[in-house]
Structure 1
Amino acid sequence: MKREALLDAAESMLFEHGTQALTLSAVAERAGVSKGGLLYHFPTKEALIRAMVTRVIEEFDDRVASLDDGSPGGYTRAYLEATFEVLGGREAALTRRRWSAITAAAADPELIAPLREAMARWHRIDPGREPDPVGAAVVRLAAEGLWEVISHAPDAFDAEQCAAVKRRLLDLIDP
């Protein structure tokens, strides 16, 4: 559990103060552990950021997998449902905090590589699973655009607007 608490502390630092404030000493202090305790789990700042990025990816993968019923179009529906859950559900504030890890990693090709790999996997067109592979790709790309907008402007859409966008995107999958 200590590892998760350290990741939470690092995310909070990033979200509240930006990448310049993310130091191992500051994270250790925020988490209430010694710097040595932090170094046991994360020997470098890069290792800490990599772990935060990995956690974001794994949590999203798990959510999509739990929603995918295996039916034609099921993956894209699950992807869309997962996106709306994390952006507008009870965990929206946590999602925005977690997403700050992606921002911290974005400037370093090595740190952002796991996200690039996940994006390629998430957006690979599988004609065997999608009745309309191109339409499914459009829906997933639109969901990515929503992530981008919400990450920079959390209040850009109210709940009613988000619901309307979601309905329209679902209609593209299941007309």
Structure 2
Amino acid sequence: MTAGPTPKGRQRRTALLDAAERILTSSGGSELTLRAVADAAGVRLGHLQYYFPSRSALLAALLDRVLTSSLDRVARLTGRPDGDSAGALLDGVLSDHDDPDLVRLFTEVWAMAAHDPEAAAAVRAFYDRYAAHVAGFLRGHEPGTSAAAARQRAEVFVMLMEGAALFRSGVAGRRSAETDAHLRRVLLGLLEGGGDGD
């Protein structure tokens, strides 16, 4: 049986992933090299390679951290016992669009997934689990909804939410109160059973 990482080792690994995330968010995936991460973290390249022997190992760990953190947030939001659960869930997920670093980070993750099969597999698994959480929320609030119908509505909800992030954050468009109001009606319709928002 091998010993797990020490607390100091976990701290160092976290600091290296923090540096990698900063580079990915600010400069993009093309700038995410082992040398750049080592420099940003203020360590020797060999030190970084002790924890992440290759760029693909670093990317796998970074994707796991980013996607797991986001998925944990979705799980908390879909499991909240708020009286206005659909509204609370929607507000919580929409609030992520207010964090420009988070939107830039996900934009870079999507770009990596377009060219890297391992990144694409991680992103697909993330969205599969994200939709499963939303589908579970739907079935919990509408017990008569079939698993297939809940899953379809959940997938449309996730698609709209992720596309909306690009527009609402300013990456691909501009946020407007009128569009936000309509988006909210459509998304609430999906969460509450209407589906078309009208």
Hey, what does 1:140 align to over in structure 2? 158
Instruction: Kindly indicate whether residue 18 of structure 2 is the aligned counterpart of residue 8 of structure 1.
Output: yes
> Would the alpha carbon gap of residues 142 and 20 (structure 1) be closer, same or farther in structure 2, given more than 3 Å must change?
closer
> Would the alpha carbon gap of residues 68 and 59 (structure 1) be closer, same or farther in structure 2, given more than 3 Å must change?
same
How many Å apart are 1:150 and its aligned residue? 5.0
Hey, what does 1:62 align to over in structure 2? 72
Measured in 2, the distance between the counterparts of 1:76 and 1:43 equals: 45
Which residue identity is paired with 1:147? Answer: A
Instruction: Identify the match of residue 105 of structure 2 among 86, 98, 109.
Output: 98
Identical positions, percent: 34
Instruction: Identify the match of residue 17 of structure 1 among 4, 9, 27.
Output: 27
SS at match of 2:123: helix
Two-structure CA RMSD over aligned residues (Å): 3.2
Runs (5+) with no aligned partner, structure 1? none
Measured in 1, the distance between the counterparts of 2:15 and 2:50 equals: 14
Aligned residues: 170
Query: Any conservation in 2 of the 1:14–1:104 contact (CA below 8 Å)?
Result: no
Map 1:44-123 → 2, pairs under 5 A: 44-69=54-79, 78=89, 80-88=90-98, 92-99=99-106, 100-123=108-131
SS at match of 1:153: coil
Measured in 1, the distance between the counterparts of 2:158 and 2:51 equals: 35
The alignment's TM-score, normalised by the length of structure 1, stands at 0.76
> Would the alpha carbon gap of residues 84 and 70 (structure 1) be closer, same or farther in structure 2, given more than 3 Å must change?
closer
Runs (5+) with no aligned partner, structure 2? 1-10
Q: Tell which has more relative contact order, 1 or 2 (C-alpha 8 A, sep 6+).
A: 1
Measured in 2, the distance between the counterparts of 1:95 and 1:171 equals: 26
SS at match of 1:33: coil
